[in-house]
């Protein structure tokens, strides 16, 4: 990696950390330059605009999310075990990610960007749409594997799983509820139970008449 690439990566990492806490609205070229002990012109030269910096932050966050959440989950067997791995990897992403002191950057930015049309919002929405499709596809595979019931709606499963994560973040970060994680785990266990395929009926031989 060249010096220029290293500098760019450092800028993106610091911008990502700041955006997880303050959102894109709360960061500026000047603020990042001060934190990184760089000149504004030197930092600006790596991106050309704040919009390009924001898009680079989203791309970096997506790469790190894939490395921390999706790729490790692929080591689990297809179906329900992989979905359980996805859930727990997402919890780790939200709770133990030192690169994101403000928690999940995608949740933070979704609130900030939902009503702000433009390329950055479009990129964020596309990333989240792809992720929801990935979870729904994983649920569909669980149906095919016989782990989930045949009439399960995979998109509803993805919706419910995302809802659990968003509720957990709300209760934990805003309300400071110490039971937020446990409640999220309980809600996910309930979602799995409601989605599970019914046990196969146990066939019994008819009793012979005496």
- Tokens, residue 13: 């990492």
Residue ranges covered by each domain of the chain: 50-195
Q: Is the pLDDT reported for residue 202 higher than 50?
A: no
Dihedral sign for Cα 190, 196, 198, 199, please: negative
Look over the chain and give the mean of its residue pLDDT values, rounded to a whole number.
91
In whole angstroms, give the CA distance from residue 106 to residue 51: 16
- CATH code for the domain defined by 50-195: 1.10.357.10
Cα 3 to Cα 120: distance, rounded to the nearest angstrom: 27
Q: For position 200, what pLDDT does the model report?
A: 58
CA-closest candidate to residue 99, choices 9, 172, 188: 9
Q: pLDDT tens digits, residue range 87-141?
A: 999 999 999 988 899 889 999 899 899 999 999 999 999 999 999 999 999 999 9
Residue 192: closest CA among 159, 161, 153, 151: 161
């Amino acid at each position: 990696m060249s010096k220029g690439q290293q500098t760019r990566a450092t800028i993106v990492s610091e911008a990502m950390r700041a955006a997880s806490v303050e959102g894109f609205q709360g960061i500026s070229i000047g603020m990042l330059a001060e934190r990184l002990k760089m000149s504004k012109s030197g930092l600006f030269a790596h991106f050309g605009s704040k919009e390009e910096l924001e898009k680079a932050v989203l791309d970096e966050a997506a790469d790190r999310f894939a490395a921390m959440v999706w790729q490790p989950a692929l080591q689990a067997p297809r179906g329900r075990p992989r979905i359980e791995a996805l859930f727990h990897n997402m919890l780790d992403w939200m709770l133990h990610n030192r690169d994101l002191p403000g928690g999940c950057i995608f949740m933070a930015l979704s609130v900030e960007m939902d009503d702000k049309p433009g390329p950055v919002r479009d990129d964020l929405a596309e990333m989240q749409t792809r992720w929801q499709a990935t979870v729904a596809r994983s649920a569909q595979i669980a149906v095919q594997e016989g782990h989930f019931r045949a009439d399960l709606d995979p998109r509803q499963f993805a919706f419910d799983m995302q809802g659990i994560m968003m509720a957990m973040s709300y209760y934990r970060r805003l309300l400071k509820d110490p039971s937020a994680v446990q409640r999220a785990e309980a809600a996910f266990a309930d979602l799995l139970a409601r989605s599970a395929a019914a046990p196969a009926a146990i066939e019994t031989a008819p009793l012979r008449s005496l």
